[in-house]
Amino acid sequence: MAVYLARVFVPQSSLQFTKSSSIFININPPPPTSTTTRFSVLAMSESNRTTVLVTGAGGRTGQIVYKKLKERSGEYIARGLVRSEESKAKIGGADDVLIGDIRNVETVVPAVEGVGALVILTSAVPKMKPGFDPTKGGRPEFYFEEGSYPEQVDWEGQKNQIDAAKAAGVKQIVLVGSMGGTDLNHPLNSLGNGNILVWKRKAEQYLADSGIPYTIIRAGGLQDKEGGIRELLVGKDDELLKTETRTIARADVAEVCIQALQFEEAKFKAFDLASKPEGSGTPTKDFKSLFAQITTRF
């Protein structure tokens, strides 16, 4: 394209030059600036990333999921939901961590606004009754704080999250539960008379019936160990509980949560999850194949 220049004489007084000066002005229409191009690239980058809300982000597994999402900022925009300022501070206190109570759907609605995927890691937590002395033998007794029973947290609270997510147009929900739900007499149900696995199972069924693409992960016994170094195992109907491989590192559960967002093979699936002992088998790297072998929808 030809470039045309105009020579213009400007009086000294108007520019306060020491003598008359001439200025060359480009009268061609300016091309798109680099700033415009940069904004276009940024907008495209934003649109290609999925905003993921992690509820229960202050918990031990929730913290790992939230951190992993932050580390993959090229793919995801992380958002967390916690119950208190203390929990928010525990994971860095960033502006993308919101405070709310899942038992009150009105505090959940703002958190799911603009979210593409939801990872539910909220759970009622039993507390040990004071006064237990392990030196005297016997088993400790547990209780749930008033208002924090499994029925209120694992059922009503998760139902609130699912309803709010559906109304907001969330595209996928990953729900982390627990193995043992097929056994009403499972020891976890007796803790604090909370029937925690019963209420978790009810929330899982509600999600499966919601119409939202879902991934339900029923984890085995959670361990605070390094992830990515074990072969993961998937199963159904608590079959893994009858084997020696019924535990899993929290970090591995967290990784499966995020991998489930990447593959169609993970959608509309529910499965048990455990791992082989470290040093036994081959560490799982191909998550698409892992999800593909799952055939159970609930």
At 91 the three-state DSSP class reads coil
Active-site residue, selected from the candidate residues 14, 178, 210, 280: 178
The yes-or-no answer on residue 22 being catalytic is no
For residue 29, give both structure tokens. Answer: 């229409």
Q: d(Cα 12, Cα 274) in Å, to the nearest integer? A: 82
| Amino acid of residue 283 | P
Contact between 290 and 253 under an 8 Å Cβ cutoff? The reply is no
Strands 127-128 and 142-143: antiparallel
Q: d(Cα 263, Cα 62) in Å, to the nearest integer? A: 21
Provide CB contacts within 8 A for 246, sequence distance 6+: 179, 220, 221, 240, 274
| Amino acid of residue 89 | A
At 246 the three-state DSSP class reads coil
CB count, 10 Å around CB of 188?
A: 18
At 126 the three-state DSSP class reads coil
- The candidate with the shortest Cα–Cα distance to 157, out of 196, 87, 201, 105, is 105
| Planar angle of CA 185, 189, 191, nearest 5 degrees | 130
Question: Catalytic positions, please?
Answer: 178
